[in-house]
Amino acid sequence: MDDSGNQHVRRQRYKGTHPKHFDQKYKELNPEKYGDTIQKVLQKGSTPAGMHRSICVDEILDFLDLQPGQVGVDCTLGYGGHTLEMLKKLNGTGHVFGLDVDPIESVKTKDRLQEFGYGEERFTLIVTNFQEIGAIAKERGPFDFILADLGVSSMQIDNPHRGFSYKLDGPLDLRMNPQKGEPASNRLFEMTMDEIEGMLLENADETYAHEIAEAISKEQRKGIKIDTTTKLRELIQQTLSFLPEQTKKEEIKKACQRSFQAMRIDVNHELDSLFLFLDQIPECLKPGGKVAILTFHSGEDRLVKKAFKHFHQLGVYEMISPAPIRPSAEECHANPRATSAKLRFAIKKQS
């Protein structure tokens, strides 16, 4: 018991020299306190537990070319990496609004930014989905710049309790906001085989959508609920056991990644939210305002490309990116999660 009367909680013990489970990685989960450990993990090309490495930061900042006094929105706050760099560029002026649907991580990020010296006068957190950008702009805008990074934050992926990763055993949840909606396990149990197959195809272009959907349906008809990440991963492994030995391991890995991605998109209604968001952006920008969007799979990129092209043809945007900007080879080597990223941008017409 310490001087304040609180009982001391002993740190979890683990086998070997390095902790393997998320809750045991106490140093990685405290980056401010254990900077040396964090640097060692980063140098290995890994992302420390509880952290997120922002992607295409230089490319985004080059495009936005932020000027003192500007006001903008980071529509997917996450760990706050992009927001922090934008605040630095504003040099103690202007304002950034950070939107995030995750009530758990967003509050941590607000506290972190405050520690860097960015309080309410420079940064405002709004816990909401970015599809509400129109309503926010009516009250706080219009804006000089808008950024959206559609990737899942590493803090969410690496936390087994959130159920985002097939690599970690945990509940099959996948909700960005665990306080709302239903977890993926419930959603999956309610779906027909055709609905599951359609979800896998539409949200992830899954090669083995039919086989995986059939296997899931067979289990559920037996009354077996697939309620953990391990159950789903093992079912996919069993279902694809017919694949040639030389390609089986890699194909199963990709199928797991795509299947979890498809369910996450479905559970969080991500494509519907993105469509609504893209449709509102022009009204939320000032004349000459800029928008940059990072996508991580073909379905998202198609929607962004189509929306930007549509408003460009209408004369709303004076310029759009002719092709997606990809992270550098150096960034992808240092951070493998950057490999699938695509950055597109648009600039609203001056008048």
Q: Are residue 256 and residue 307 in the same domain, yes or no?
A: no
> Does some domain include residue 85?
yes
Identify whether the C-beta of residue 211 lies closer than 8 Å to the C-beta of residue 239: yes
Pair (209, 243) in one structural domain: yes
- Among 218, 238, 267, the domain-final residue is 267
Place of tokens 């449709």: 279
The per-residue pLDDT for 334 is 84
pTM of the model: 0.80
> Are residues 63 and 137 located together in one domain of the fold?
yes
According to the model, what pLDDT value does residue 43 have? 46
* Of 267, 299, 333, the domain-final residue: 267
Q: Which pLDDT value is given to residue 233? A: 95
Q: How far is CA 74 from CA 133, 234, 268, in A?
A: 10, 37, 19
Domain around 260: 177-267
In the chain, how many domains are there?
2
Residue (of 312, 319, 310, 203) closest to 259 by Cα position? 203
The string of pLDDT tens digits covering residues 98-127 is 999 988 888 989 999 999 999 999 999 999
Do 116 and 262 belong to one domain?
no
CATH number, domain of 249, equals: 1.10.150
What whole-number distance in Å separates Cα of residue 233 and Cα of residue 290?
Answer: 41
Whether 12 maps to a domain, the answer reads no
Please name the residues in contact with 295: beta carbons below 8 A apart, sequence gap of 6 or more: 150, 301, 304, 324, 341, 342, 344
Among 220, 235, 267, where does a domain finish?
267
Task: Mark whether 255 and 285 lie in a shared domain.
Answer: no
pLDDT, position 323: 94
CA atoms within 13 A on the CB side of 102: 23
CA dihedral 13, 27, 173, 56 (to 10 degrees): -150
* 23 part of a folded domain: no
Which parts of the chain register pLDDT below 70? 1-52, 154-155
Measure Cα distances from 107 to 91, 124, 205 in Å: 23, 11, 34
Query: What does the pLDDT read at residue 11?
Result: 53
